[in-house]
Amino acid sequence: MAIDVLLTGFEPFAGAATNESWEAVRGAAPRLREQGLEVAAEELPVEFGPAGDLLATAVREHHPRLVVAVGLAAGRHGITPERVAVNVRDARIPDNAGASPVDDPVIAGGPVGHVTSLPIKAMVAALADEGIPGSVSQTAGTYVCNDVFYRLQHLLATDASLVGIRGGFVHVPDAAVVDAATASRALTRMVLVAWDTSTDLRRPGGAEH
């Protein structure tokens, strides 16, 4: 049976006790249910391959109208919806299974990149209205976050049974920059904007570097 929204976050990694992405999802899911949306939430492993496999299984099981995957980008200064997923695995640190791929494709023979189908500029504008720092990001890196983002967009672009599902990826910064309650509120607002917005705002959101 189809649901409205699928949210995903990640388990802890690199020795951390928690992962801000999953905390944001855990907080946003009940808020969205209070708004009348049927929501499923999945915690993904920080592992190249299995994370994308689990996400694909969840998409096919729930057949949501909207998918928002969330990851942690420590060091960023705000919440950042991602524009482009790239077909590259290049790990600076091992994943939670010890894998460290270098210059490998996410999907052999897949296109160089996939662009999100979320209204990322409208989502950023909503953050500004809430006084929450945010901006459009042009890259999700080359670690497991990008791996999941690429797998999601490739799945939605190539599986005819999933036509009409929109999806994308959002990075949250560490809790010292945006605390868990604010991140959950921000994610809730962005999902509601994505739910109600079919055509993105036409406004500057690029970067010079």
**82 tagged catalytic:** yes
**145 tagged catalytic:** yes
Q: Which among 42, 47, 114, 145 is annotated as catalytic?
A: 145
Q: Which among 20, 23, 42, 82 is annotated as catalytic?
A: 82
Q: Which among 62, 114, 154, 171 is annotated as catalytic?
A: 171
The first and second tokens of residue 33, run together, are 């249910």
One digit per residue, pLDDT tens: the chain, 209 residues?
Answer: 689 999 999 999 988 999 999 999 999 999 999 999 999 999 999 999 999 999 999 999 999 999 999 999 999 999 999 999 999 999 999 999 999 999 999 999 999 999 999 999 999 999 999 999 999 999 999 999 999 999 999 999 999 999 999 999 999 999 999 999 999 999 999 999 999 998 988 988 888 76
Query: Rounded to 5 degrees, what angle do the CA atoms 17, 30, 188 make?
Result: 85
Contacts of 177 (CB under 8 A, 6+ apart): 76, 77, 78, 133
